[in-house]
A and B are shown apart, each in its own frame.
Chain A
Amino acid sequence: GDSVTQMEGPVTLSEEAFLTINCTYTATGYPSLFWYVQYPGEGLQLLLKATKADDKGSNKGFEATYRKETTSFHLEKGSVQVSDSAVYFCALKNFGNEKLTFGTGTRLTIIP
């Protein structure tokens, strides 16, 4: 079945550091890929998405590129802020299945 593997956390970075959170997936066909963010005490919010190979999703300075050859969708940000502290989830949705399959989440803490 479909699955998502995320970089183990927690991740702690200094403000303005470069961020990468790795995400790889296993799925048949051509799934859509998503990154969700969960701020403390809140629900999950869609951060960005990509629906086909080589698509780049971007939002709030975050980017991720759909790499079919490596089955990856790594999340990157060039300069993180304290306000980016949250839990980040990678997810996929595959054709014929409306369910979102989530990774385990990566807790990110940014220190000033």
Chain B
Amino acid sequence: DSGVTQTPKHLITATGQRVTLRCSPRSGDLSVYWYQQSLDQGLQFLIQYYNGEERAKGNILERFSAQQFPDLHSELNLSSLELGDSALYFCASSAARPLGYGYTFGSGTRLTVV
């Protein structure tokens, strides 16, 4: 157990629908990162939150949004889903700032859009 909890583990939904993925960071970590992993695109950075505020944005579609709550858990909202959104979505957390710190990853949510 890495300490980063993602729910649900699997999600199957239809095109056009909206889903919410949840992430609880490791205790004490203030930063949360969301990544999308697909077969053809590899690991794509979506967005980062630090202590409730958006810190960095990557290749996140306008149909996607995220937030980090006061208790530091984060949610990634995916709307108007398309077949191409099927992927593994990973959340990771890290301690603040130090360059030498890596991330701790959750086990991911596998989203299948049918």
Contacts and interface: CB of A to CB of B under 8 A. Distances in A.
Asked if A and B are interacting partners, one says yes
A45 B43 contact: no
A42 interface: yes
B28 interface: no
A98 B94 contact: yes
B8 interface: no
A98 B32 CA distance: 11
A98 B97 contact: yes
A22 interface: no
Nearest to B47: A99
Interface in A73-112: 89, 91, 93-95, 97-105
Contacts of A93: 99, 102
A50 to B, nearest CB: 9
A43 B94 contact: no
Interface in A13-53: 31-32, 34, 36, 42-46, 49, 51
B42 interface: yes
Contact of B108 (A31, A43, A98): A43
Interface of B: 2, 4, 31, 33, 42-43, 45, 48, 50, 55-56, 58, 90, 92, 94, 97, 99-100, 102-108
15 contacts: A32-B99, A42-B108, A43-B90, A43-B106, A43-B108, A44-B103, A51-B100, A91-B102, A94-B99, A97-B56, A98-B48, A99-B33, A100-B33, A100-B45, A100-B102
Interface of A: 31-32, 34, 36, 42-46, 49, 51, 89, 91, 93-95, 97-105
